[in-house]
Amino acid sequence: MVNNFDIASGWIRLALEDWRVIGRLSVKENRGAIVYHVQQFVEKLLRAVISVLGFEPKQVHNPSWQLDEILSDVQLGEIEEKISPDDIALLEDVSSVAKTLEDERTRPRYGVRHASGVTTPNEYYSEDAIMQFLDDARFISGALVRFFEKSNLCSRMRLECEFLGKIGRGEA
């Protein structure tokens, strides 16, 4: 039987690969690619959370909605998963910010189709918008490293959690 922490660990490692790609990209030349990898980074971290909570992440591009369902079911007592009120509040905050990135959908890859043509991702996203998306990802990373520490996942993934913490503090 596969341990939920093993699954979560895999998602975290995959998320960190996306963050490393972001670090190699130029904000001036690769804005769409940066948003795409920020989306992927956040989606994979949310899948790690869902796994830690004992659930199988759905194969969707909006895992925040599945997380919301789990948190709602916990609060209503429909599932017996034990999550502290502080963790519920933290995960709700994370989910809310994650939705901003999930809502970008395909724009980072395909741009925006208008009647008169296509606006490319580099035309669509300003450098300021990219910085806001990166700040959102840093917020999520910092919040989730605290959650992963409380769940004892970081005792198994010390280096990865240290890196998530650096991302959250804007040091990576």
pLDDT digits (tens, 9 = 90+) for 95-118: 999 999 999 999 999 999 999 999
Q: What are phi and psi of 112, to 5 degrees?
A: -125, 125
* pLDDT bracket for residue 2 (50, 70, 90): low
Contacts of 76 (CB under 8 A, 6+ apart): none
Query: Roughly what angle, to the nearest 10 degrees, separates helices 4-24 and 31-52?
Result: 170
Q: What is the model's pLDDT at position 77?
A: 84
d(CA 101, CA 98): 5
Q: Across the strands, what pairs with 112? A: 119
Q: What is the pLDDT of residues 58-68, one digit of tens each?
A: 999 999 999 99
Please give the CATH topology (third level) of the domain spanning 4-168.
Four Helix Bundle (Hemerythrin (Met), subunit A) (1.20.120)
Which DSSP string corresponds to 159-170? HHHHHHHHHHTT
Percentage of the residues of the chain whose pLDDT score is greater than 70: 99
Mean of the pLDDT values across residues 21-35? 97
What single-letter DSSP state applies at residue 31? H
What is the model's pTM?
0.95
Cα(36)–Cα(109) distance, integer angstroms:
7
DSSP per-residue string spanning 101-146: HHTTTTHHHH-EEETTEEE-HHHHS-HHHHHHHHHHHHHHHHHHHH
The pLDDT value given to residue 1: 46
User: Residue 81: its pLDDT value, please?
Assistant: 73
